[in-house]
Amino acid sequence: MALISQSRRLRRTPFSDGVEAAGVKGYTVYNRMLLPTVFRSVVEDYHHLKNAVQVWDVAVERQVELRGPDASRLMQMLTPRDLRSMQLGQCYYVPIVDETGGMINDPVALKLAEDRWWISIADSDLLLWVKGLAYGYRLDVLVDEPDVSPLAVQGPKADDLMAAVFGDAVRNIKFFRFGWFDFQGTSMAIARSGYSKQGGFEIYVDGFDNGMPLWNALMEAGKDMDVFAGCPNLIERIEGGLLSYGNDMTRNNTPHEAGLGKFCSTQTAIGCVGRDALLRVAKEGPTQQIRPISIDGDIPACDRVWPLMAGKKKVGQVTSAAASPDFDTGVAIGMVKMTHWDEGTALTVHTPDGVREATVIEKFWI
Ligand code: THG
């Protein structure tokens, strides 16, 4: 593929200088911002992520901030997950749906105060939908994108690296909780979360100018921990069943089709704009759903949907795929019709490089 030309519309991040100095080899575009995809190689990055510790520029996880008396009401309008029992300092993975129950994002929500939320978004212009709702319903709330950029620290040595920079108290942060920690005079939210199954943290870096000093402090403190720049790893995130909005599910899918029914409590999510639509589909259950798929043979780059076939009949599509070194098979995420979604179902996948044998399996690899 030719190079992508840079411009003001394709935003750099507070950490882009560090990413470049580390020798980034590939980018994608996410929320109109640069997201690294490869440093040494996808396979080398994968092994390093599972054995050491990486610092990830995930500034593309932009925040939609809700601030004001109606912030909690607006937050509940966005999601079928019941937020009433959510505590300050908690993070929730929340499907966001439109009035038809179609998914428009799958962010992590942080409850900062009763009247203040951050929505850490996946790749869609959620800000515009939220501002539209706030204006249309005349809500008493400010909706904006703050100058906050997540930096993830992921891998088995993440606790040690974070403790070296922020002190031992970071070790006590529980999964999907956050606390406030000082870095050079600025207070920042640090959560135990991240887009990998290897464990770690996300630092919500407050202020663009604090980006490189923090990046450098982590790299310096991690010298004897084999720290290196990293990024969400295609292979590891498929093994872990971490979904990619826009790839694995879109506005044409309900959360139930995406396998996110466990994050919906639609019956009690009063005020969710997609509630009526979702109550209808939840009663019958979805007729297609995301499944882990193992694929035999070599796996080409998955830059489009691949038809999943049962003989001559199309029964779904593969939306993410990669060769897994640790599991010695092709690992994939697919959307499969209910007639063929049972564990063990043998199918074929039509890749641009040819037909491959595939099997619907019981659960993701990690
Ligand atoms: N962290 C933050 N913001 C994000 C992401 C993130 N925004 C974009 C994107 N990632 C949103 N998508 C996801 C998908 C999966 C998870 C988080 C965000 C995730 N899932 C866990 C799992 O499925 O095992 C745990 C979910 C749970 O138990 O609540 O972490 O990564 N800040």
Does residue 122 line the site of ligand 1, with CB under 6 A? yes
Number of structural domains in the chain: 3
Structure tokens at 214: 């923090």
Question: Looking up tokens 């956050």, which residue turns up?
Answer: 178
Same domain, 155 and 188: yes
Please tell me the distance from the alpha carbon of residue 30 to that of residue 37, in angstroms, as a whole number: 11
pLDDT tens sequence across 120-131: 999 999 999 999
pLDDT range class, residue 349, cuts 50, 70, 90: very high
Ligand 1 contact via 259 beta carbon (within 6 Å): no
CATH number assigned to the domain comprising residue 46? 3.30.1360.120
Q: How far apart are CA 161 and CA 156, in angstroms?
A: 10
The confidence score (pLDDT) of residue 102 equals 98
Clarify whether residues 154 and 135 are in a common domain.
no
Q: Is 63 in the pocket of ligand 1 (CB under 6 A)?
A: no
Model pLDDT, residue 282:
87
pLDDT of residue 204: 99
Could you tell me if 207 and 222 lie in one domain?
yes
Tokens of 350: 């039509």
Q: How far is the CA of 101 from the centre of ligand 1 (A)?
A: 20
Residue 268 lies in a domain: no
pLDDT of residue 38: 98
Q: Going by CA atoms, what residue is nearest to atom 3 of ligand 1?
A: 120
Of 90, 193, 233, 243, best ligand 1 pocket probe by most atoms within 8 Å of the beta carbon: 193
| Long-range own/partner contacts, residues 37-45 (CB < 8 A, 24 or more apart) | 37/231, 37/232, 37/234, 38/231, 39/228, 39/229, 39/230, 39/231, 40/228, 42/233, 42/234, 42/235, 42/322, 43/235, 43/325, 45/230, 45/231, 45/233
Would you say residue 233 has pLDDT above 90?
yes
| DSSP conformation class of 48 | H
Q: Tell me, in angstroms, the distance from the centre of ligand 1 to residue 261's CA.
A: 15
The range of the structural domain enclosing residue 106 comes to 63-144
Token representation of residue 294: 């193992």
Residue 26 in domain: yes
- Please check whether residue 271 is in contact with residue 77, taking contact to mean a CB–CB distance below 8 angstroms: yes
* Closest to 149 measured CA to CA, from 212, 204, 231, 218: 204
Beta strand 178-183 with 186-191 is antiparallel
Q: Could you identify the atom of ligand 1 that is nearest to the CA of residue 105?
A: 11
pLDDT number for residue 289: 98
Q: Is the CB of 200 under 6 A from ligand 1?
A: no
209 in the same domain as 76 = no
C-alpha of 198 from chain center: 14
Atom 20 in ligand 1: which residue has the minimum CA distance? 242
pLDDT per residue as tens digits for the range 254-270: 999 999 999 999 999 99
- Of 235, 234, 242, 239, nearest to 365 by C-alpha is 239
Residue 71 sits in a domain of what CATH number? 3.30.70.1400
pLDDT at 136: 98
Atom 22 in ligand 1: residue holding the nearest Cα: 242
Looking at the predicted structure, is the pLDDT value of residue 1 above 90? no
